[in-house]
Structure 1
């Protein structure tokens, strides 16, 4: 797991994470958030498609787990520092997403390999923009 320091704002709301009960990388992402100072409630669900639909997660931004923190949705392996930044800056939009499951993202660690990826802020219509770029150590 990627080492983390306390980055959660002191007044951060609880992060509710919806995940499959058999998803190991989802549990590792929860541990990443907790190590970063977030209070997390995990909810095991077998109907993740319905969860994503009800929370307005666009299919093209989908990943394995979905979280709710305050008024925002967090889809996939978003680093805790960007969840904290979202809560502090309160950007317009529905939430943040890391589409797919990039190797090296929190919960998706595989040795020293880290693929580059974008953290996307998306709106109610499913349109998105880059909120942050995470550098990797591999070539695209």
Structure 2
């Protein structure tokens, strides 16, 4: 194989060494990962919201979650009690809707920032969170400036549930 003089000049101007090839590969890979919409920092967690077809506050809670970095899909169910039992939500800690991200359960009007904190570092033995009832002022239950302080309960596989955090008027979203 013969090279023309112009080919030799091009090679001398842009020599492709092994080091240059590796660096170019790393640069291309980094740009493709960082520029991807699936990059971990920008990806929205997929949230399934199970709710009764007539419930308006459930839709407002799902909107709150969407506004705060989640991608929710609402599924209307007529058998909510059966669903909650199958997901392990204790009857005394139930609310009107149930959310699910991967294998974690989120029962009731839990603020998005609390769900995010839980998902970033799930406590050992935990399978979800619950806000029993429908506290006034919680996401989806806004009533002007009124606010009721409430606890977010940590659901544990051992059955020994405990307070995960308290939401007060000063800490409310």
Normalised TM-score (structure 2): 0.71
Report the structure number with the largest CA radius of gyration. Answer: 2
Gaps of 5+ in 2: 1-40
Query: In structure 1, how many angstroms separate the alpha carbons of the residues matched to 2:169 and 2:159?
Result: 26
Deviations 1:21-68 (A, max 9, x none): 110000000000000010111100011001101100001110000011
Gaps of 5+ in 1: 1-8
Give the drift of 1:72.
0.6
For 2:161, the equivalent position in structure 1 comes to: 128
CA RMSD of aligned residues (A): 1.4
1:91 to 108, 123, 134: 123
Pair 88,126 (structure 1): closer, same or farther in 2 beyond 3 Å: same
Map 1:1-140 → 2, pairs under 5 A: 10-92=42-124, 93-136=126-169
| Equivalent position SS for 1:39 | strand
Displaced runs of 4 or more, over 2 A: 9-13, 124-127
User: Relative CO higher for 1 or 2, CA cutoff 8 Å, sep ≥ 6?
Assistant: 1
Give the drift of 1:131.
1.0
Say how many residue pairs are matched: 129
